[in-house]
Amino acid sequence: MLKRTFVLGLVLLASTPGIAFSAGISAGFAALGSLAYTSFDALRCKIFVCCNDVWIPSNIEGLSRELAEKLHGQHLVQRTVIGHVKGHMRTSNPPKALVLSFHGLTGVGKNFVSRIIAENIYKGGLRSPFVHLISATKEFPHEGMVEFYKAQLKSWIEGNMTRCGRSMFIFDEVDKLPPLLLDVIKPYMDYYDELGGVNYRRGIFLFLSNSGGSAIAQTVLDHWQSGKKRVSLELSEVEGKVTRAAVNSDSHQGLWHSQLISNHLITAFIPFLPLEKSHVKKCITDALIDRKYFKKRHTIPSEVIDSVLKELTFTPTTEQIFSSTGCKRVSEKVDYVMMDREVVGKESWNMPGGRKDEM
């Protein structure tokens, strides 16, 4: 649009009475204008955020690598997320918007994965102007205001998608959204070519919720009790249970009876499995490094990891397999254990601010 105005301006200038140019020269002006605009636009988009490949680099390799390195215990998530995001980004005209519904108990990585997707697809990650995180309890707290929220949500999505068709919307705590609010965004996820002159098919929508989390945990427990390896659990063994739990959720909120499900507009239901001790240990190691208590993984004494592990609770009461809060409270427990050690003075570990030798 901007480009057309710019070029048209130059052509008009060339054909203004008193400025006599031949048709050839007018065409030259148009070509020159187009070139000047392209250079100007390239420069502008180097400095300011634009809805283009520079600001939306869609780094699928980076996404695969980070999920493989940083995400623990979620083999189903890893495979499905990469497959769907890759499939969606590889064409400039996908058949519909990508809609992924993340399900799982607390602290198993739903926000963590959303952040990794945002960071690898968009420059600036969650801070990119094309990435929008909406928390149900923060943005839509009152059930009585659904009609108002619907209008608000609709115009907000339309505004953002008009600005950039490659926008990503992350709806957090979907299970706490007022009932049927999400149905208002149904048209934007459908197979329409355009709505009101805007193409919504390149958008990405992520729904995060705890619904289905207990059903997933029960399936993993059954799988474990039958002596099978966790990684042998197939998506097909969990997917149906998650969908049913979401659609029939007791809270009657979020995706409950939603047209998004009945009209098959959700690309995939992605189950996040409850985390076991071995995964939590990896999260503890990550936190000890991130928070600079240690420089190298192999130098972390196992008793430090065990001390943090002891601060967390595991379920079911008899088997004690799954962390009740996944990896969510790991960072604060790491700080607590390390500070406690410092106070007690049991060891001379490398505390932030540095006290001890290189590790």
Ligand X SMILES: Nc1ncnc2c1ncn2[C@@H]1O[C@H](COP(=O)(O)OP(=O)(O)OP(=O)(O)O)[C@@H](O)[C@H]1O
Q: Distance between CA atoms of 231 and 223, rounded to whole angstroms?
A: 10
Would you tell me how many other CB atoms lie within 10 Å of the CB of residue 207? 28
Q: Which residue, 265 or 275, has its beta carbon nearer to ligand X?
A: 275
108 in contact with ligand X (CB under 6 A): yes
Span of 106-114, 120-128, 149-157, 254-262 interacting with ligand X by CB under 6 A? 106-114
| Minimum CB distance to Mg ion, residue 218 (Å) | 21
x/- string (CB under 6 A) for ligand X, residues 186-225? ------------------------x---------------
Q: Taking CB under 6 A as the rule, which mask of x and - marks residues 43-72 in contact with ligand X?
A: ---------------------------xxx
Candidate residues 29, 76, 109, 322; the one interacting with ligand X per rule CB under 6 A: 109
- For position 242 contacting ligand X by CB under 6 A, the verdict is no
- Judged on CB neighbours under 10 Å (0-12, 13-18, 19+), 18 is exposed
Measured distance CA(318)–CA(316) in Å, rounded: 6
Site for Mg ion in 189-248 (CB under 5 A): none
- Stretches 55-63, 122-130, 311-319, 324-332: which one binds ligand X (CB under 6 A)? 324-332
Beta bridge partners of 314: 323
Tell which one of 326, 333, 334, 349 touches ligand X (CB under 6 A): 326
Q: Write the binding mask 27 to 46 for ligand X: x where contact by CB under 6 A, - elsewhere.
A: --------------------
The stretch among 6-14, 21-29, 321-329, 340-348 that binds ligand X (CB under 6 A) is 321-329
In the complex, the residues that contact Mg ion under the rule CB under 5 A are 110-111
In the complex, the residues that contact ligand X under the rule CB under 6 A are 70-74, 104, 106-112, 210, 275, 283, 326-328
